[in-house]
Every structure is written in structure tokens, then in C-alpha cells.
Amino acid sequence: MAETVVETKVEVSLGTPWNVVVHNDPVNLMSYVTMVFQRVFGFSKEKAQQHMLEVHYKGRSIVWTGSRERAEFYLQQLHGYLLLATLEKAEC
């Protein structure tokens, strides 16, 4: 009896990565934005300050990149702290 070999190809889709972007806002205090980054992303104070300064001087900073679901979760947190934050597709 002939043996049939069935090959199964498993594809893992990593999906498109998404950026969480924080935009400059003249009202939110620098110390407040730093504190929020530390709390939401668990950044060290130094890393949080680097992102805060990027927001301040460049107008925006990509604070996190990853899965869509997680990005939406972070976005909701940032809006709860009243930061200007958006979701955008990461450039591959």
C-alpha cells in the first residue's frame, strides 16, 4: 500500500507592528509627561525624560512599537492621562 505523505506548512504571521506616538502639547508639564511615561511603560526616569524631551523639541516621539492590541491598550492609558497620543503603522 502506497504511503501518502501530507506536508503541513505552518505560517506564523507576526502582523504589522504599530507605533504609539505622543505629540507635543504646550499645556502638559514636562515633569508630568515624564511621570506618565514611567508609569505607563515602566521606563526608567532617564528613558522617560529622553522621550519627553523628544516630544518637546521634535514635536513627537514614538514611545512604543508592537502589536496592535497592546498599542491600543497603551493609547487608552495615555489618553486617560490627557496626553496627545496616536496610533500609526510602523515603517518596516
Partner 1 sequence: MLIRRLKENSIELTEIEPIEAELLRKVPSVCDTGGDSRSEARLFSNPADTSERQFLNDWNEYVRPELRHLFLSAKKTVEEDLEKLSDHSGHLSRLIVPRAHADAWLNTLNQARLILASKFDFTDAELSMHDVPKSFSRRDLVLLQINFYAAIQERIIDAIEVEEE
Instruction: Tell me the three cell numbers of residue 16.
Output: 504589522
Contact call for residue 79 and partner 1 (CB under 8 A) = yes
Burial class (CB in 10 A: 0-12, 13-18, 19+), 41: middle
The correct pick among 22, 28, 52, 55 for binding partner 1 (CB under 8 A) is 28
* Cα Rg of the chain (Å, integer): 19
Distance of closest approach, residue 81 Cβ to partner 1, in angstroms: 7
Point out which residues bind partner 1 (CB under 8 A).
26-29, 31-32, 35, 38, 45, 72, 75-76, 79-82, 84-88
